[in-house]
Every structure is written in C-alpha cells, then in structure tokens.
Amino acid sequence: MAVLFVENIATSAKKECNYHFVKGDERTDDKIVAKKAMCVLFYTLGKGSFRMLAKIFNTQPSLVYRWIMEAGAKLSDPKVADGIMEMRV
C-alpha cells in the first residue's frame, strides 16, 4: 500500500472499488459443505468422536466440534405433547 503525503498528513492510497464488505463467504465450496454435513450426520448417529471424524475427513477436531455445535444451535427445544405427564417414583 502506497503512502501519499499531502500537506504533511500521511494518507494511504487505496483502490476505489466502493466495497467495504462482501456478502457471503467465498471461502467455502461444495466439498467443505459435504464434509460438514457428513460430520454432523455421523456424530448424531453416534458413529464417531470429534477426533475420529477429524481424521476421517482430514480436518481439525476443533473444526468438527464447531460444526456440530453450530448445527445443534440451529435446533429448537423438543416439545412435549400435552397428554404426557411427569411421573414421580
């Protein structure tokens, strides 16, 4: 980035594209979306741990954990039907 000196004030010369933020995430592709879906599916079926799924899909265990937590946060709380009552033993 070039620095221009105008009246003893340093200003940076920027490319004027009029975009400060870009909508959407261009870093993801179909392969990553498929990995994410398979990790969530296998974990919910009880077929693997975070570390095992990370090894299978060649990614980090922390990323698998984040994917599963994001999927869980999207779910709503389970609703109990009105006819079901609590039993005390």
Would you kindly state where each structural domain of the chain is located, as residue ranges?
A: 29-75
Tell me the per-residue pLDDT of 25-47, one tens digit each, with 9 for 90 and over: 677 788 999 999 999 999 999 98
Q: Are 56 and 34 in contact (CB under 8 A)?
A: no
Residue with tokens 């261009």: 26
pTM of model > 0.85: no
Which parts of the chain have pLDDT scores under 50?
8-11
Per-residue model confidence (pLDDT) at position 11: 47
Tell me how crowded residue 11 is: count the other CB atoms within 10 A of its CB.
Answer: 11
Copy the structure tokens of residue 13: 């010369």
Per-residue model confidence (pLDDT) at position 59: 94
